[in-house]
C-alpha cells in the first residue's frame, strides 16, 4: 500500500505493543517511515526511549511511549487511558512470551504469564481499539502470530497454543470488522533473528538462516488489506502449505524433531 493511502485509510497513529526491540521496533520504524506517528508500548521504559529517539532522528513523526506490562490485568486499560486523546488508526500486537522447555518442567506461572501476554492482552487491546475504529469506520488491527501456531509445538507448548489463539482471533476479526471498513489481519511470522531468538540458545547455524526483522516488518505493510491471513515471506507460506497437507502426527513430529535438535538444552 502507498504511504499516503495508509495514513488516510487508517489514521495518523500506529500503536505497536512489544516495541522495545527486535520485530516490534522494526514494525515501529516501518510505520514511521510511512508517515505514521508511533505509540510504543513495552515493559522497559529505557528501551522504549531508545527506539523512540531513533524514530525521531530518522523520521519526521511524533512518538509517544507507554510503559506497561501486558501480563498485568489492568495493562490494556492503562494503555487505553494514556492514549484517550489520540486517534489510533493501526494496532500491531507483537508482544509475546515464549516459555521454553518440556511442559511439566516449567513452572505453571510461566505458562500463565504467556497466556496473559499472548492471548488476554491482544484480545483486550483489539476489543478496545477495535470499537474506536468501527465508530470512525477506518482502522487496521494486526495480530502477529507464528508458524508454530499451526499445530502442537513441543518445547514451546503454551507459546504455540497461544499463537494459535491469536491466529484464529485475527481471522475472526477480519470477517466481523470488514463491513465497518476496518482491516484485520493475522500475520504469520517464521524464524526471525531477534534479540529474543539470540538469547534462546539457538545455534549459529539456525540464527544465520533466520530473517532480519526489518524484512518482516516491510513485508507486513505490503499486505495490510490482504487478510484474513498473510505470511511474512513466501517461504513461510510454503512451509504452512506443506504442514496443512500432512497428518497432525507428522506435523507435530516435524516440530518436535526440529525443536529438540535446535534447543537441546531446553529438552533436558
158-182 pLDDT tens trace: 999 999 999 999 999 999 999 999 9
**Contact partners, residue 201, CB within 8 Å, separation at least 6:** 100, 263, 265, 266
At 262 the pLDDT is 85
Residues with catalytic function: 159
| The three cell numbers locating residue 98 | 515464549
At 117 the pLDDT is 97
For the chain, the domains span 3-267
Average pLDDT taken over every residue of the chain: 92
CATH number belonging to the domain at 3-267, selected among 3.90.79.10, 3.40.630.190, 3.40.50.300, 3.40.50.720? 3.40.50.720
180-219 pLDDT tens trace: 999 999 999 987 666 565 556 666 665 666 778 899 999 9
Q: What is the pTM of this model?
A: 0.92
The side-by-side arrangement of strands in the sheet containing 13-17 is 63-67, 37-42, 13-17, 88-93, 139-146, 182-189, 229-231
At 208 the pLDDT is 65
At 199 the pLDDT is 58
Section 91-100 average pLDDT: 93
Amino acid at each position: 500500500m502507498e504511504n499516503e493511502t495508509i495514513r488516510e485509510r487508517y489514521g495518523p497513529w500506529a500503536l505497536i505493543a512489544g516495541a522495545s526491540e527486535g520485530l516490534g521496533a522494526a514494525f515501529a520504524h516501518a510505520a514511521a517511515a510511512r508517515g505514521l506517528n508511533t505509540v510504543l508500548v513495552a515493559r522497559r521504559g529505557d528501551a522504549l526511549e531508545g527506539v523512540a529517539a531513533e524514530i525521531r532522528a530518522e523520521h519526521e513523526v511524533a512518538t509517544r511511549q507507554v510503559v506497561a506490562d501486558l501480563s498485568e490485568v489492568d495493562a490494556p486499560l492503562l494503555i487505553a487511558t494514556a492514549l484517550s486523546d489520540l486517534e489510533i488508526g493501526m494496532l500491531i500486537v507483537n508482544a509475546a512470551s515464549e516459555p521454553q522447555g518440556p511442559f511439566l518442567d516449567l513452572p505453571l506461572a510461566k505458562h500463565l504469564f504467556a497466556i496473559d501476554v499472548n492471548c488476554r492482552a491482544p484480545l483486550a487491546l483489539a476489543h478496545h481499539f477495535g470499537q474506536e475504529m468501527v465508530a470512525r469506520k477506518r482502522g487496521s488491527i494486526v495480530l502477529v502470530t507464528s508458524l508454530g501456531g499451526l499445530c502442537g509445538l513441543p518445547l514451546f507448548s503454551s507459546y504455540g497454543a497461544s499463537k494459535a489463539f491469536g491466529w484464529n482471533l485475527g481471522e475472526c476479526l477480519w470477517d466481523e470488522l470488514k463491513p465497518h471498513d476496518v482491516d484485520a489481519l493475522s500475520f504469520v511470522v517464521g524464524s526471525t533473528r531477534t534479540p529474543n531468538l539470540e538469547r534462546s540458545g539457538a545455534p549459529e547455524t539456525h540464527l544465520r538462516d533466520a530473517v532480519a526483522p526489518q524484512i518482516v516488518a516491510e513485508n507486513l505493510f505490503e499486505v495490510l488489506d490482504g487478510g484474513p491471513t498473510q505470511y511474512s515471506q513466501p517461504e513461510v507460506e510454503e512451509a504452512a502449505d506443506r504442514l496443512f497437507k500432512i497428518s497432525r502426527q507428522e506435523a507435530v513430529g516435524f516440530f518436535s524433531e526440529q525443536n529438540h535438535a535446535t534447543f537441546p538444552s531446553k529438552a533436558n
